[in-house]
Structure 1
Amino acid sequence: MSYIQQSFSVQFEYKVFFTEHLFDPSNPVFAEFLDSRAEKGIRKKLLFIVDDGVTKHHETLQEQITAYCSSLDNYELVQDIIVVPGGEASKNDLQLFYWLVNAVDQHAIDRHSYVIGIGGGSVLDLVGYVAAVSHRGIKHIRIPTTVLSQNDSGVGVKNGINYHGKKNFLGTFAPPAAVFNDAFYLTTLDERDWRSGMIEAVKVALIKDAAFFEWMETHADELAVGEPKSLQYLIRRCAELHMQHIGGAGDPFESGSSRPLDFGHWSAHKLEQLTDFELRHGEAVSIGIALDSVYAWLMGMLDAESLERIIQLLKTLRLPLYHPLLEIEDDSSPIMAGLEEFREHLGGRLTIALLEGPGKGKEVHSIDPATLRKAVNMLRDKW
């Protein structure tokens, strides 16, 4: 027997910029980034794809982008700024995906060019996937416009769309060239969106950083009304912890089965599907965190005081704790199917992140249905 072996590594690097009014002529952040990536003799194209929810609240955005990009050297703006539906519907529409791929082809966007997504996490997931599979990888830039995307999904390395009713069944690991968090976009968010977006900060604090969890408890009343200074600190710290995990966990592309940042997500993904995505992702994750925290307490992992603190924070932030579709009649109940779908999504054996206390996560590889049912009943009847 003979064989040839090859081994190599690829270095990825990107920055998350925190700014305000990104396309104001007096703001040089975006222009300076592009200038740092310019190449002599190569004129690069910029294709913008924008969430329609953003354009509704920022009616002059397209004109601002056009004016801003007109002064850029070595770059050419594709005049057709594409507007797409926002929310989870954008990830459920295969025809929209194909339409965007065709736009990349039509406008001759090559591997030197940039596809730039502006919007919530769902649109950024879609745009990132379009960029990643076109020409085997076009550079993409993310401009997240929601709390959830600025503190979690928009600063990560994952892209994807839903398929056959399964969350993120089609997708890639493709880091962005850069992320620009513009705080001004948060001022026009629907209350339900900015409120549910805070849950990923609760999640990462519970798994990674007890001090951050305590900070949220202290500032919960401010966060509950969207006080800008507190909200912006929450976003930055959550993004920081998220990026530290990506770079420091040794598995940025999730080759193994460990997913500590998916705490509360196994049931959340299923709830989103069962409600036909009427539940916001953050609302479903809040319910999932409450469920898994009560379950951990029933299993003797989490103490009663910590459980009460978690539940109280979620309530102060006015996040949901329960949904009727959680109900478990038997092993074939819809929510139980979420466990197998989550295992399939992970690959390998089932791995669920639970808590031993704030800032202290622990992974388990099985869930007891009877205990889980008790947890559901407690959420329904006690809180």
Structure 2
Amino acid sequence: MELKPIKQSFSVQYEYQLHFTKDLFHVDNQLFVNIMKGYKDYEAVKLFFVVDKGVADNHPDLLNKISSYCSLYSGNLTCTNTLVIDGGEQSKNHAEYIDLVLKGINENAICRHSFVVVIGGGAVIDMVGYAAAIAHRGVKLIRIPTTVLSQNDSAVGVKNSVNIFKKKNFLGTFAPPYAIINDTDFLATLEQRDWIAGIAEAIKVALIKDGEFFGYIAKHAIALKERQLEPMQYVIYKCAEMHMQHISQGGDPFESGSSRPLDFGHWAAHKLEFMTSYELRHGEAVAKGIALDVTYAQLIGLISEEELRIILDVMKEIGFDLSLPLHSEKEVDQLLAGIEEFREHLGGRLTITLISGLGKKHDVHEIDRSIMKRSIEQLNHQMALK
């Protein structure tokens, strides 16, 4: 008797929304409770809150506001507990933080019809999202990002991750959140470097997808640096919109292929973060990675010297330090090792996204290391002359 292979295929529809608001947990703001009603309106939904310590410190009334809000709307919300956890990249570097979240999910009986609500920067959101995705094979997650970078990029995607083996995002899942809520009030307390750092992801998506959007960033560079809220709100909205459109319309939301255009500038950024023991913010490293890759793009003839000058000038005007912290040939070689690590992380053929013009993505499948070394030297030379 011949046993033929049994084949099966199925598709899963994902849907999630990004909401915009101000003072989310003010008792008169019904956005959060309405989101929960949209999931289940016949009984209270159990919630386990995880809050970035830096956010809790800068917003000392936040925990009380969450408690009061849940008490007021107790017919729809049950706050089981609130865990305050250290923020920053360290939260992705140590398994103890994942264990704390998993312990909280277990002890508060958070099931697949309950929610983990994470409030914080991109690193905490990444780590908590990973813990939520592996608990019970996936409990529901609401992300409330509190930095520019997380509101416009890292929190609006479908990825969750932590670092291990000295490699960024080595462990992770693709697990879309139930919803993302951007609250502009959280931006007011950001340090200046965090305010600026998040703009790097907007520059990234503008350079590979929308030259007109890059023109807007260039025109408002000083206003963005000076923390004017209106242009920043537009940059966050536009960047998040383009990111989410790429996920839904790009045909590869879970990155099964070899191209990751949204990681433009990231092969170097990830390595620089590790090499500086994560003293560099992710957005700061991305800015340096973009600067390096557009310099390389100019040296191989993809963009003009004028286009390179425009890009670097805009980033400098916003306030980015684009110099690469490399002090020896050994460190240069260490950085260049990030190219293969980038390929290895995704697998398949090496695919590095560059640009062939403002708003024009261009993938390459090999990097000339001698020219990349020249790019490093040229960029650092230019930054030394500023």
Select 2:15's aligned residue among 13, 18, 41.
Answer: 13
For 1:117-196, list aligned pairs within 5 A: 117-196=118-197
Amino acid in the other structure paired with 2:11: S
> What is aligned with 2:208?
207
Displacement of 1:44: 2.6
Amino acid in the other structure paired with 2:79: L
CA gap of 1:39–1:31, structure 2 versus 1, over 3 A, is: closer
Displacement of 1:241: 0.5
Amino acid in the other structure paired with 2:348: G
Q: Does 1:112 align with 2:117?
A: no
Contact 1:158 1:174 in 2 (8 A): yes
> What is aligned with 2:255?
254
Q: Distance in 2 between matches of 1:144 and 1:224?
A: 20
**How many residue pairs were aligned?**
380
Displacement of 1:364: 0.5
> What is aligned with 1:244?
245
> What is aligned with 1:344?
344
> What is aligned with 1:374?
374
Displacement of 1:237: 0.4
| Identity %, equivalent residues | 51
CA gap of 1:219–1:350, structure 2 versus 1, over 3 A, is: same
What is the CA deviation profile of residues 344-371 of structure 1, one whole-angstrom value per residue up to 9, with x for unaligned ones? 1111111100010111010001111110
SS in 2 for 1:167: strand
> Once superposed, what is the RMSD of the aligned Cα atoms?
1.3
Q: Distance in 2 between matches of 1:335 and 1:10?
A: 39
SS in 2 for 1:382: helix
> What is aligned with 2:335?
335
For 1:15-94, list aligned pairs within 5 A: 15-40=17-42, 43-72=44-73, 73-78=75-80, 80-94=81-95
Q: Distance in 1 between matches of 2:78 and 2:53?
A: 23
Q: Distance in 1 between matches of 2:329 and 2:270?
A: 16
Contact 1:274 1:325 in 2 (8 A): no
Q: Distance in 2 between matches of 1:327 and 1:315?
A: 25
Contact 1:328 1:336 in 2 (8 A): no
SS in 1 for 2:236: helix
Amino acid in the other structure paired with 1:14: Y
Amino acid in the other structure paired with 1:9: S
Contact 1:327 1:335 in 2 (8 A): no
Q: Distance in 1 between matches of 2:44 and 2:313?
A: 54
Q: Distance in 2 between matches of 1:309 and 1:51?
A: 37
Amino acid in the other structure paired with 1:353: T
What is the CA deviation profile of residues 185-208 of structure 1, one whole-angstrom value per residue up to 9, with x for unaligned ones? 000101110111110000000001
Displacement of 1:327: 5.7
Contact 1:271 1:326 in 2 (8 A): no
Contact 1:294 1:307 in 2 (8 A): yes
For 1:356-375, list aligned pairs within 5 A: 356-375=356-375
Amino acid in the other structure paired with 1:18: F
- 300-309 or 116-125: bigger deviation: 300-309
Normalised by the size of structure 2, how large is the TM-score? 0.96
Amino acid in the other structure paired with 1:19: T
Displacement of 1:26: 1.0
Normalised by the size of structure 1, how large is the TM-score? 0.97
SS in 1 for 2:10: coil
Amino acid in the other structure paired with 1:257: S
Contact 1:207 1:358 in 2 (8 A): yes
- 42-51 or 184-193: bigger deviation: 42-51
SS in 1 for 2:68: helix
Displacement of 1:84: 0.4
Q: Does 1:4 align with 2:6?
A: yes
Q: Distance in 2 between matches of 1:134 and 1:351?
A: 33
Q: Distance in 2 between matches of 1:328 and 1:19?
A: 49
Q: Distance in 1 between matches of 2:222 and 2:328?
A: 31
Contact 2:33 2:76 in 1 (8 A): no
> What is aligned with 2:226?
225
Q: Distance in 2 between matches of 1:84 and 1:132?
A: 18
Q: Distance in 2 between matches of 1:214 and 1:328?
A: 37
What is the CA deviation profile of residues 284-331 of structure 1, one whole-angstrom value per residue up to 9, with x for unaligned ones? 00000000000000001111111111000110011121123286559x
Contact 1:17 1:179 in 2 (8 A): yes
SS in 2 for 1:81: strand
Q: Distance in 2 between matches of 1:329 and 1:5?
A: 51
Contact 1:326 1:376 in 2 (8 A): no
Contact 2:45 2:77 in 1 (8 A): yes
SS in 2 for 1:17: strand
Q: Which runs of 4 or more aligned residues in structure 1 lie more than 4 Å from their structure 2 counterparts after TM superposition?
A: 326-330
Q: Distance in 1 between matches of 2:133 and 2:34?
A: 24
- 66-75 or 104-113: bigger deviation: 66-75
CA gap of 1:85–1:274, structure 2 versus 1, over 3 A, is: same
Q: Does 1:315 align with 2:321?
A: no
SS in 1 for 2:143: strand
Q: Distance in 2 between matches of 1:216 and 1:75?
A: 40
SS in 2 for 1:133: helix
